[in-house]
Structure 1
Amino acid sequence: MAYETECVGEDLEDVVPMMPQGKSSGSVLPYVGVACLGAILFGYHLGVVNGALEYLARDLGIAENTVLQGWVVSTLLAGATVGSFTGGALADKFGRTRTFQLDAIPLAIGAFLCATAQSVQTMIIGRLLAGIGIGISSAIVPLYISEISPTEIRGALGSVNQLFICIGILAALVAGLPLSGNPLWWRTMFGIAVVPSVLLAIGMIFSPESPRWLFQRGKIVEAEKAIKTLCGKERVAEVMQDLTASCQGNVEPEVGWFDLFSSRYWKVVSVGAALFLFQQLAGINAVVYYSTSVFRSAGIESDVAASALVGTANVLGTTVASSLMDRQGRKSLLLISFGGM
């Protein structure tokens, strides 16, 4: 069967094919689970420094140097900025699954360097590499999940990325509980991240490529094989027709960076940017990175445990929002959320 493979533009809402509804012999959940290892690593690398900072600073001789401690924390974000800008391009060039495998390299090496660091320079390099890795993950995890998910569960799976980021943060905070009895445990905390990095690379060997990416590259046979795995063989023709229709229907020209500031897009862009800005101004990143230090300064004896409770609240909030999103609407939940902040 011949299909038209030309597809212009990258708007997920417009071009992701509508995977068929109803019962099928395929299943996307195992592959979503593999992809979410990237989200877990994102959250874990964000939160791991929270409980470990005091102990690693003491071991690396920077206990009195708050500037270098700040570099240990913020270098991750510098790397994430680079990774987030390159993740999409890598995914388009090499495919989604191959990019996940490439992403596992800086994630694993970065975690290993942090775990074995004997100097602050090595720690910063490790954090930079881990940051590049989580930046790439932030771009390709939601992309891959969206492109392989059936329509009837795409909304629910769309929030899975954020949920697993929160779970990763919680895991990092819980991993810090043994620190009070074992000051060298911080090395194990960083080393733990090597395991899901390796599992991500291995898991993607057995995961199907995005049918949409394969279709765009004219790899029709491979696209049909991926659809068979994800949706079942009885849905292959239907999904291929949806891919063809979605690509042919997306005829708007691509939008450049400067076009985002035009009158046509300004309102949407400003609202979206403001939502992220207000979230950051609420101080959530300070909580993720420094809550253990804050609780310790406040005289709370179980400072790491208190931070773990904060992480638990974060996971619960995300879970509640995910379950109410379709019933209550996005706007009302945002108003409640910002009211709480």
Structure 2
Amino acid sequence: MIVSAPQSVGYAVVGGSDVKVKQQENATPFCGVQAWICGLSAISGFLFGYDLCVMVVALPLIQKDFALSTTAAESIISTLMLGAVIGSLVGGVVADWIGRKPANLITAALFLLGSLFMTFAGSLHTMLVGRFIAGLAVGSSGPCVSTYVAEIAQPKTRGALVTINEVMVCFGCLVSVVVSSSLQGIENGWREMLGMTLFPPIVQLLGMPFLPESPRWLISKYQTKEASAVLKRLLYSDEASQQIIQAHLDVGTFHESFFHAMSELVTDELTRKRVMFCVAIAFCHILTAANAMLYYSSYILDELQTGNSHPVSPLSKEVWVGIAKLAGVCTAVAVVDRLGRRPLLLIGTSLMFICHFVFALCFWSLSATHSELVQNIGEWNLYAFIFAWNLSWAPLMWVVCSELLPDEFRSIGMGLTFGMFWLGSALVNQTLLSVFHAFGTGNAFLLYTTLTTGSLAFVFFKVPETTGLTFEQIALLFNERVAHVSLAHHAA
């Protein structure tokens, strides 16, 4: 069977059957309900980014105030990652068990609780408790937010809506750098830095109770009346709502039991294939070493600027990294539903491959002779790498994985995918400097160039195009074992 792309905006194939449903003709691509859902959910992305980046400036101040050893200070960073791994794995299960909206409310409450512990911490132990709780929130926000938004969004705008969460991650990073740098000269300024995260989750907790539950989750619990009401709010006609619900119930797309879903991971080849495919996508993201490049951007710039009579100021470095990150993801939001997922991943990964190789050339050159021109090339190469990463992998891993996973396993699968991503990222973060020292910085970047080539090959040969497709059409990609070309190309 060859699956063609939707013939018009208003129609979608449901449940792999011949049923077609029509949205209201006056439906806009981005209706008010979707805007509120996206906006409130994306606050978690802002907090995610803020919590990840705030310690760049706050950690030395906390270390000084609490008289911490280097190992104790590093534990403040690693504790958040530990919480993120657990939060990713548990968050997806909770979202399947009690619903997408309640899971996002719990995530907001965890952000608030973690912020309270960190802001008013009087000891290292209290700080670690706060960082662990914040890590739980950071980890659970991945599967909870992306699954909720993906299931609410219409196919034509799904990519942009899910990607907006990554925009807020980047915005949170940039705000944390600016705020932290302005407060670092104030006594106990780190408390104000961390205290900034007290207010956004309160907005979420007040606003999210008024948002609808995911209609797909409601259908999975056979709450068809509630699902129909939500679909009407999302600008689907009455007839279309009933066709969608009946088609899903007829084909048995959903399962009520978490244990049934888990058993399918073991016994059902197609489900296992889709979940492992998403884990492979996360693994390819890890191979680019992008997260570590962000964490150690200051170190890399310092290494490049050694001996420079006009080094870049620390604030300038962090702000430019934040701007490059935000610019990349904003570009992705603007074009992801027009250009497609595959082209952005191919373009971004290719640029990252080139940037890794340019880093290798720069460090090889600087090890032989000092050159301010090479230093400047290396500095702008870092900003180009951050831009390329946020044009591709940073936002699109959320989008592609939320689209490829089956309905009955989406939130759990997202949790598993993000859990593996956090574990792998933590390993790369812990080993990056050791690799630099063991092999030499230039040779290390040659290694990462080679690894990024593997990621590029996987995208080219394996990742399908999902732009504008319903979840049911995406499922047919795996049923028909379509490898990597778009449905529109097949239809042609």
TM (norm. structure 1) is 0.82
Name the SS for the 2:77 alignment partner. Answer: helix
Matched, 1:34 2:40: yes
Cα distance change, pair 311–224 in 1 and its aligned pair in 2 (3 A): same
Contact 1:91 1:99 in 2 (8 A): yes
8 A contact 1:116–1:187 mirrored in 2: yes
Q: Does 1:243 align with 2:245?
A: yes
Give the match for residue 51 of structure 2.
45
The CA distance in 2 between the partners of 1:239 and 1:89, in whole Å, is 27
The aligned residue for residue 85 of structure 1 is 89
* Structure 2 equivalent of residue 24 of structure 1: 27
- Between the two proteins, the alignment pairs up a number of residues equal to 322
Q: In structure 1, give the amino acid aligned to 2:285.
A: F
Q: Unpaired segments of 5 or more residues in structure 2?
A: 1-12, 255-259, 353-492
- SS of 1:152 mapped into structure 2: coil
Shift of 1:324: 3.2
Aligned equivalents of 2:77, 2:22: Cα separation in 1: 41
User: Contact 2:96–2:217 at 8 Å: present in 1 too?
Assistant: yes
Any stretches of 5+ residues in structure 1 without a counterpart? 1-12
More displaced stretch, 93-102 vs 132-141:
93-102
Greater shift, 50-59 or 235-244, is seen at 235-244
Tell me the equivalent position of 1:187.
191
* Cα distance, 1:146 vs structure 2: 1.1
1:285 maps to which residue? 292
User: Using CA pairs below 8 Å that are at least 6 residues apart, which structure has the higher relative contact order?
Assistant: 1
Q: Which residue of 1 aligns with 2:336?
A: 325
User: Equivalents in 2 of 1:167, 1:257: separation in Å?
Assistant: 39
2:285 equivalent in structure 1: 276
Secondary structure of the residue aligned to 1:193 is helix
Aligned-residue offset at 1:270: 7.2
Equivalent position amino acid for 2:189 in 1: W
Taking the aligned partners of 1:265 and 1:221, their CA distance within structure 2 comes to 30
Aligned partner letter, 1:192: M
**1:104 corresponds to which residue?**
108
Distance 1:263 1:189, change over 3 A: closer
Shift of 1:141: 0.3
1:21-59 deviations in Å (ceiling 9; x for gaps): 642386311121111111111111111111211111111
Partners of 1:18 and 1:159 in 2: CA distance: 26
1:309 aligns with 2:309: no
Moved more, 40-49 or 295-304: 295-304
Amino acid paired to 1:89: V
Q: Secondary structure at the match of 2:186?
A: coil
- What do residues 233-272 of structure 1 show as CA deviations (whole Å, max 9, x unaligned)? x623312321332453355995426978999669946752
- Residue 105 to residue 58, structure 1, CA distance change in 2 (3 Å): same
Determine the structure 1 residue equivalent to 2:476: none
Deviation at 1:90, TM superposition (A): 1.1
> How far apart are residue 193 of structure 1 and its match?
0.9
Tell me the TM-score normalised to structure 2 length: 0.58
- The question of whether the paired residues in 2 share the 8 Å contact of 1:145 and 1:157 is answered with yes
Letter of the 1:194 partner, please give it. L
Pair 216,206 (structure 1): closer, same or farther in 2 beyond 3 Å: same
- The Cα of 1:156 is off from its aligned counterpart by 1.9
Aligned to 1:3: none
Q: Are residues 1:168 and 2:172 paired?
A: yes
Greater C-alpha radius of gyration: 2
Percentage identity across paired residues of the two chains: 29
Contact 2:91 2:140 in 1 (8 A): yes
Distance 2:37 2:118 in 1: 29
